[in-house]
A and B are shown apart, each in its own frame.
Chain A
Amino acid sequence: MAVELKSWRELPIGGVIPGGATPELNKTGSWRSQRPIIDLEKCIQCLMCWLHCPDNSILIKDQKITGVDYDHCKGCGACAAVCPVKAIEMVPERGGA
């Protein structure tokens, strides 16, 4: 996280983090050693991958799969594992196996 560290005077009261979720502050996509590639042709839009993704990284619009949030996807492969039609392939992140 390359966010500047704040002075004690700037911190909200009581250690509270107001304002809701801050996913942009922790881009866990950097963790990956493999990434999911979704074949949207094969996809039957069952949403099982969306349901299981631990990192909210299966993107949907109007309850249809549109892609992957590679900023947060950790490459765990749960999506590929639960896909009933094997529409998701896990490929190495940096070329080699």
Chain B
Amino acid sequence: MKKVMTGHKAVAEAMRQIEPDVVAVYPITPQSEIAEYYAQYVADGIVHTELVPVESEHSAMSACVGAAAAGARVMTATASQGLALMIEILYIAASMRLPIVMALANRALSGPINIHCDHSDAYLARDSGAVQIFAESAQEAYDYMIMAQKLAEHKKVRLPVIVNLDGFTLTHSAQVVEPLEDAQVKEFVGEYEPIYPLLDVDNPSTWGPFAMPDYYFELKRAQQAAMEAVPEVFLSVQEEYAKLSGRPYKGLFEPYKLEDAERVLVVMGSTAGTAKVAVDELRAKGEKVGLLKVWLWRPFPREEIASALEGAKVVAVLDRAFSFGNMGALYLDITSALMHRERRPIVVNYIYGLGGRDTSTEQLMQVLQEIKDAQPGEGLRYLGLRE
């Protein structure tokens, strides 16, 4: 049944239906309402979850690590500075192969302090070893939170999974969401089967040892293998969910009028929705344009995305954060993937939308037009910046 709900309500609903054993969470704009909704469920006794209202995000992720290693199903949510504060433990959670699912209400990193949307927080976690998925809408945020649980807990994966949803744009705007039934979600995610749980006191295990140079490398290589297993599991979880929900999830990214596109936008998050409109408008005028919307950002689907883009003439990669000192992070992902292909488009990099700056349909149409003149090897372009 279709409902109207904000993105954070959608995320909270997904969490409620998954009903984790432990939620350790600390408030930060624009995530706070997720914690508030969940706290209400707990206060009303409709979930068995132990809510741990920690005193900082660092403790939030630490408590999540303790709870997950103990053998419980664990979820949390944060944004921006909160992610920055917990980043140490996020890396550790990934190294410990703990399937913690976290909603990240994308918000700009300070400074200056800004509470609005950009992807600098997600980018901070890029190399953490956590899986990262981007949602375009509240519906996708809801759906991916549920898929994330199954993906995270899969025996071949066992990694933290971050579901990114744009702060304010998605978290605070009311949209149409069609949730599943409680029982459907419960069945889909199934029972959590912990590995070497701390609470199995008859079989003690040591978690988080000290590793010298003789073992650290091997332990990290093993972690890399888990990341490499993600795409296959992601696709199979998606397939199962598509059947269950009837929604057309298929692929590590969503191609939109991409097949014969000569000029392509690559974007992550809610701006993809605007991009679809821009593409439609130009297509109506006969322009061969298209969109590649990234769903799975980490691990990065190098070959799949390179194959989808190699036939285009020009690709405009939109990064919603700086990676100071070089081109945007998504641009770097894409160009390195295309590097070894025989056919390669010209790739242009736009930094856009920082600190909540809105991007209009017209601006994206303008981008698709102006990249006709793009030259290879250009530096950064800035969308909507007052020069």
Contact = CB atoms under 8 A, between A and B. Distances in A.
Given A5-B214, A16-B206, A17-B205, A11 B96 contact: no
B221 interface: yes
A8 B224 CA distance: 11
A16 B221 contact: no
A61 interface: no
Interface in B175-228: 195-196, 203-209, 211, 214-215, 217-219, 221-222, 225
A17 B219 CA distance: 12
B218 A16 contact: no
Interface size class of A (residues with CB under 8 A): 10 to 19
A65 B340 CA distance: 71
A23 interface: no
Contact of A11 (B95, B208, B214, B218): B218
Contacts of B209: 15, 17
A8 B203 CA distance: 23
B116 interface: no
A18 interface: yes
B195 A17 contact: no
Nearest to A13: B97
Interface string A14-52: 111111110000000000000000000000000000000
B218 A14 contact: no
Interface string B87-114: 0000000011110000000000000000
A9 B195 CA distance: 17
Contacts of A8: 217-219, 221-222, 225
Tell me what chain A mostly uses at the interface: helix, strand, loop, or mixed.
loop
A17 B206 contact: yes
Contact of B96 (A6, A9, A14): A14
A12 interface: yes
A15 B214 CA distance: 13
Given A13-B158, A17-B206, A5 B215 contact: yes
Contacts of B196: 12-13, 16, 18
B205 A15 contact: no
A7 interface: yes
B195 A13 contact: yes
Interface string B315-326: 000000000000
Interface string B231-249: 0000000000000000000
Contacts of B206: 16-18
B207 A14 contact: yes
Nearest to A19: B205
Contacts of B96: 14-16
B196 to A, nearest CB: 5
Contacts of A14: 95-98, 158, 195, 207
A77 B188 CA distance: 61
Contacts of B214: 5
A64 to B, nearest CB: 27
B96 to A, nearest CB: 4
A9 B228 CA distance: 14
Contacts of A12: 196
B357 to A, nearest CB: 40
B95 A18 contact: no
A16 B205 CA distance: 7
A10 to B, nearest CB: 9
Nearest to A1: B214
A6 B218 contact: yes
A15 B203 contact: no
A18 B219 contact: no
Q: Which of A5, A13, A19 has the most CB of B within 10 A?
A: A13
B207 A16 contact: yes
A18 B203 contact: yes
Contact of A18 (B98, B205, B217, B218): B205
Contacts of A13: 97, 158, 195-196, 222
Nearest to A12: B196
25 contacts: A5-B214, A5-B215, A6-B218, A8-B225, A9-B222, A11-B222, A12-B196, A13-B97, A13-B158, A13-B195, A13-B196, A14-B96, A14-B158, A15-B211, A15-B219, A16-B96, A16-B205, A16-B206, A17-B205, A17-B209, A18-B203, A18-B205, A20-B203, A20-B204, A20-B205
Given A7-B218, A13-B158, 9 more contacts: A9-B222, A11-B219, A13-B97, A14-B97, A15-B209, A18-B196, A18-B203, A19-B205, A20-B204
